[in-house]
């Protein structure tokens, strides 16, 4: 049986929509009950714990209120297991009477609960970077203020081709949907611009080491794009240098290849690696400076991909509820207000949404630099108003298959 302990409930300050299927009105003094789906045990726990830290930090900085209303944050540990995620989601909605959900962490978890949240008219602010959620499988009650899996990869491909003048590249990524979608997005833009992906290497997510895969890497490449999740970016980079390739072939990557959560572990080996992301702890605006300072103070860590997402959700939700004057008992009105709003001052910069519930916003090209013995992802270029469809027409884009292991077809692979 699923229960929430007192330590799993962080009381802060809000109120929101009644559960659509009950028609229950929300009292003016009723707190907003946010069901927060994360991972606190199991192999994905490090990222999930950072998600919770990011949410708690944002609430602390905002006087524990969203839109002027009290928040009751109900944290559910999904263990990173789809069946458990579905059970915990149902418990949050039906027993704990959550007014909206934030999370879960992983794409396979989000896919497991999509039909449930839709059928229960449950506004959900997504964090998992799976393309289906805001493309062919777009959900009415879903909004993602972070990024789809391929969104940042598009920008990284353009930067590699146009700015770094790379023409022959390899891609390497974890062999599951998130890795496939990152590398396929990169491949499409890079080759559409005239480059060639001559190698595609897909180690298993739980590969014990990368020696076998590194030995396959060609030596006549202009660069490598990494689509790793969790700590695998660190593990690959460490092995890459141990095998003597460090400094010989430039490394680039997507959303989590050099996440702040692992950046300090990489040491000086990471210096010079460039990645693309919707967020950087080094991004220079007032909201982010305060957020980073508080994370440093409370958790002795820079926020990265996992911590930043919930904080962006908080800012977007705050703007929507403020616009509604606190009247959030209608889930259709709430999700439509979230998706139609433009929020200027989030820790990632301005955010607006497309017709499918995916944020359009800045994508930052970041370069690892070492400052005072500390690795940071310094922003070296900003691509503004980046859509999940890049420069492609959305309708034409979605006539093609969703990015996957086999699409787009890699036409320039060499033996």
Question: pLDDT tens digit string along 9-33?
Answer: 433 333 333 333 433 345 556 899 9
Residue 131 lies in a domain: no
pTM: 0.91
d(CA 20, CA 403): 33
d(CA 397, CA 394): 5
What does DSSP say about strands 142-143 and 65-66: parallel, antiparallel, or unpaired? Answer: unpaired
Determine the pLDDT at residue 362.
97
Residue 357 lies in a domain: no
In a domain, 403, yes or no: no
Please check the confidence at residue 121 and state whether its pLDDT lies above 80.
Answer: yes
For residues 257 and 306, membership in a common domain is answered with: no
Element (H, E) at 171: strand 168-173
Q: Is 165 found in the same domain as 74? A: no
Residues 259 and 380 in one domain: yes
Report the chain's mean pLDDT, rounded to a whole number: 91
Residue 214 has pLDDT above 60, yes or no: yes
| Nearest alpha-carbon partner for 341 in 356, 363, 323 | 323
Which tens digits make up the pLDDT trace of 281-300?
A: 999 999 999 999 999 999 99
Residue 259 near residue 323, CB atoms below 8 Å = no
Q: Give 216-265 pLDDT, tens digit per residue.
A: 999 999 999 999 988 899 999 999 999 999 999 999 999 999 999 888 88
Q: Which stretches of 223-367 are DSSP H helices?
A: 232-242, 260-266, 286-299, 305-323, 331-340
Cis bond before residue 408 (omega within 30° of 0): yes
Mean pLDDT, rounded, for 385-407: 97
Which pLDDT score, from 0 to 100, does residue 293 have? 98
Residue 27's pLDDT is what?
57
Instruction: With respect to residue 29, please indicate whether it lies within any of the assigned structural domains.
Output: yes
**Does 412 map to a domain?**
no
**What is the extent of the structural domain holding 340?**
6-122+285-347
User: Looking at the structure, do residues 305 and 263 belong to the same domain, yes or no?
Assistant: no
- Count of the separate structural domains present in the chain: 2
- Shared domain check, 388 and 367: yes
138 within some domain:
no
140 CB burial (10 A radius; 0-12, 13-18, 19+): middle
CATH number of the domain where residue 341 is located: 3.40.50.2300
Together in a domain, 274 and 290? no
Could you identify the residue written with the tokens 């493309």?
135
pLDDT at 28: 57
């Amino acid at each position: 049986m699923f229960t929430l302990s007192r330590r799993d409930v962080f009381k802060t300050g809000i109120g929101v929509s009644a559960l659509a299927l009950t028609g229950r009105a929300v009292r003016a003094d009723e707190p907003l009950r946010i069901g927060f789906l994360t991972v606190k045990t199991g192999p994905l726990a490090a990222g999930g714990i950072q998600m919770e830290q990011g949410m708690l930090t944002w609430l602390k900085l905002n006087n524990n209120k969203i839109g002027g209303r009290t928040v009751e944050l109900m944290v559910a540990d999904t263990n990173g297991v789809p069946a458990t995620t579905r059970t915990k989601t149902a418990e949050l909605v039906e027993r704990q009477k959550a007014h909206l959900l934030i999370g879960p962490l992983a794409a396979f978890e989000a896919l497991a609960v999509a039909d449930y949240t839709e059928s229960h008219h449950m506004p959900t602010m997504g964090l998992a970077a799976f393309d289906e959620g805001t493309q062919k499988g777009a959900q009415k009650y879903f909004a993602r203020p972070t990024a789809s899996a391929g969104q940042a990869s598009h920008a990284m491909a353009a930067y590699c081709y146009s700015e770094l003048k790379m023409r022959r590249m390899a891609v390497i990524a974890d062999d599951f949907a998130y890795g496939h979608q990152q590398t396929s997005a990169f491949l499409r833009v890079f080759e559409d611009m005239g480059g060639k992906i001559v190698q595609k290497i897909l180690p298993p997510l739980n590969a014990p080491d990368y020696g076998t895969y590194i030995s396959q890497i060609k030596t006549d490449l202009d660069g490598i794009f990494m689509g790793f999740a969790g700590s695998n970016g660190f593990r690959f980079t460490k092995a890459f240098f141990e095998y003597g390739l460090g400094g010989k072939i430039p490394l680039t990557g997507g959303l989590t290849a050099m996440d702040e959560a692992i950046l300090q572990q990489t040491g000086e080996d990471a210096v010079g690696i460039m990645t693309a992301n919707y967020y950087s702890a080094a991004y220079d605006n007032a909201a982010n400076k305060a957020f980073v300072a508080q994370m440093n103070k409370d958790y002795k860590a820079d926020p990265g991909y996992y911590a930043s997402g919930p904080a962006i959700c908080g800012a977007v939700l705050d703007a929507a509820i403020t616009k509604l004057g606190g009247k959030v008992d209608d889930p259709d009105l709430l999700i439509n207000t979230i998706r139609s709003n433009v929020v200027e001052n989030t820790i990632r910069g301005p955010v607006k949404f497309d017709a499918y519930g995916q944020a359009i916003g800045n994508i930052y090209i970041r370069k690892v630099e070492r400052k005072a013995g500390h690795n940071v992802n310094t922003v070296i270029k900003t691509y503004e108003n980046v859509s999940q469809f890049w420069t492609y027409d959305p309708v034409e884009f979605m006539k093609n298959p969703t990015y996957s292991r086999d699409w787009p077809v890699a036409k320039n692979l060499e033996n």
